[in-house]
């Protein structure tokens, strides 16, 4: 649920008109009384895992300045480091910690498909990744400790050469602020910024995707190529004698052109399906094994008051098509008939859908089969009602016998 203070008193509409992709916004007390949903120890435990993207940045103390060490990182890492000038960055923490995934729910005024991930930095005093520029929108939420942020909208784009990071040379701040717990800074793409920890601190970077034109077109062209019959060849049974053997005749050009134009014709329905699947592709670190679940098991769990919960890190979206809808999740698509089209907003609006909301819909034909497929694909899970410990135990006993379009954020990385 969005806190009324999240945007500093601005309505979502006013924030989007004044600041989104336009200019920075400092929000004091965006989340009053904010408590970290993760501890430094747990963050370091994630950084030690091979299936989690992490890195260590040392401005000092490495073999060279601004040295980057990619994870997995040793759990005892901090014992070997000095007391200052280092930062541990962990990507996609929302895919591993449900309480961190819940932070994204506060930004429900933005399209969910635009969300990239929640990256968390643990920094020692003076820890930093240097002055740099990012190509995506980001909300920088301060957890424990304090960090000073310096920003500039006009700057020299020259970088210091020979470093692991793209650190700006001669960066000069135009504004600066010290952020404490619950404060937040919004930065649009292309604004230079430099955050330095004043004490040991945690900073949450809620970043938003902006697919590169090249990547988007390249992937769609790849999809078009999959529909081209490799066995078909150029033919010209009506070939006439060549006037000049070195000439590509108008007739030959026309035949070749028809081959290309037919293969590259963009059909709206095909493009729509591609975009939905592309934008919900699972992250590289979230490709769980599917499981088999019977619709009756889902029905029993929901009738007992269970909650349908979207798995942390899972991507899901929908597109309206008249009275029907296309539901996309983890790179797959489901066509929802008119009777089920209304369920799409319910499944995609928030992470948790309570039993009461679902029970009113259970009589709709095909709904239980759809929910069973989503749970089987680990897009969602079923949690037993309180006070039982939330788990998927409500459905486990009834069972039979995540580079996608995903995270591309690399802060200041060369």
Residue written as token pair 């399906």: 273
Kindly give, in sequence order, each residue whose CB lies less than 8 Å from that of residue 341, ignoring residues fewer than 6 positions away: 320, 323, 324, 325
Q: Residue 2's pLDDT is what?
A: 62
Q: Residue 188's pLDDT is what?
A: 97
**Start-to-end Cα distance in the chain:** 37
Q: Residue 285's pLDDT is what?
A: 61
Q: Residue 396's pLDDT is what?
A: 40
Q: Do 212-222+268-386 and 4-208 fall under one CATH topology? A: no
Strands laid side by side in the 332-336 sheet:
316-321, 324-329, 332-336
Two structure tokens written together for 299: 């029905």
- The CATH number of the structural domain formed by 4-208 is 2.60.120.650
Q: Which phi and psi angles does 196 have, rounded to 5°?
A: -125, 125
Q: Residue 117's pLDDT is what?
A: 95
Q: Which residue positions in the chain have pLDDT lower than 70? A: 1-3, 284-288, 290, 386-414
Two structure tokens written together for 297: 């098991």
Question: What CATH number matches the domain at 212-222+268-386, 3.40.630.30, 3.40.50.300, 1.10.10.10, 3.40.366.30?
Answer: 3.40.366.30
Check: pTM over 0.85? Answer yes or no: yes
Domain boundaries, the chain: 4-208, 212-222+268-386
How many Cα atoms within 13 Å fall on the side-chain side of residue 329?
23
Burial class (CB in 10 A: 0-12, 13-18, 19+), 345: exposed
Neighbours of 150 (CB within 10 A): 17
Q: What is the torsional sign of CA 352, 357, 359, 365?
A: negative
Contact call for residues 25 and 183 (beta carbons, < 8 A): no
Whole-Å CA distances, 241 to 126, 163, 252: 79, 63, 12
For residue 252, which of 272, 268, 235, 265 has the smallest C-alpha distance? 235
Q: What is the torsional sign of CA 299, 304, 308, 311?
A: negative
């Amino acid at each position: 649920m969005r806190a009324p203070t999240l945007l500093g008193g601005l309505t979502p509409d006013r924030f989007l008109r004044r600041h989104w992709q336009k200019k920075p916004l400092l929000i004091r007390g965006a989340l009053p009384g904010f408590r970290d949903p993760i501890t430094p120890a747990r963050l370091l435990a994630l950084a030690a895992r091979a299936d989690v993207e992490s890195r260590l940045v040392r401005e000092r103390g490495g073999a060279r300045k601004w040295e980057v060490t990619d994870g997995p990182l040793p759990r005892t890492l901090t014992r070997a480091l000095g007391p200052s000038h280092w930062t541990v960055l962990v990507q996609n923490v929302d895919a591993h910690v449900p309480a961190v995934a819940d932070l994204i729910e506060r930004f429900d005024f933005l399209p969910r498909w635009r969300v990239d991930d929640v990256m968390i930095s643990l920094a020692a005093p003076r820890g930093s990744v240097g002055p740099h520029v990012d190509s995506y929108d980001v909300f920088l939420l301060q957890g424990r400790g304090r960090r000073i942020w310096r920003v500039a909208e006009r700057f020299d784009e020259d970088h210091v050469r020979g470093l692991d990071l793209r650190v700006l040379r001669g960066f000069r701040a135009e504004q600066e602020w010290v952020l404490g717990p619950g404060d937040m800074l919004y930065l649009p793409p292309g604004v230079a910024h430099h955050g330095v920890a004043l004490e040991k601190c945690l900073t949450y970077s809620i970043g938003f995707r902006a697919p590169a034109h090249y990547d988007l077109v390249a992937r769609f062209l790849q999809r078009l190529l999959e529909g081209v019959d490799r066995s078909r060849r150029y033919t010209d049974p009506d070939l006439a004698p060549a006037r000049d053997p070195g000439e590509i005749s108008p007739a030959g050009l026309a035949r070749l052109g028809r081959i290309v134009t037919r293969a590259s014709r963009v059909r709206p329905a095909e493009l729509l399906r591609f975009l939905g699947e592309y934008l919900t592709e699972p992250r590289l670190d979230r490709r769980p094994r599917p499981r088999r679940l019977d619709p009756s098991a889902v029905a029993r769990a929901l009738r007992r008051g269970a909650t349908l919960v979207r798995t942390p890190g899972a991507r899901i979206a929908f597109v309206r098509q008249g009275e029907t809808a296309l539901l996309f999740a983890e790179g797959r698509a489901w066509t929802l008939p008119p009777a089920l089209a209304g369920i799409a907003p319910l499944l995609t609006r928030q992470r948790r859908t309570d039993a009461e909301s679902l029970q009113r819909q259970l009589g709709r034909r095909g709904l239980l089969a759809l929910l069973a497929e989503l749970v089987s694909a680990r897009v969602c899970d079923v949690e037993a009602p309180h006070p039982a410990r939330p788990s998927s135990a409500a459905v486990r006993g009834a069972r039979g016998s995540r580079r996608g379009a995903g995270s591309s954020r690399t802060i200041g990385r060369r």
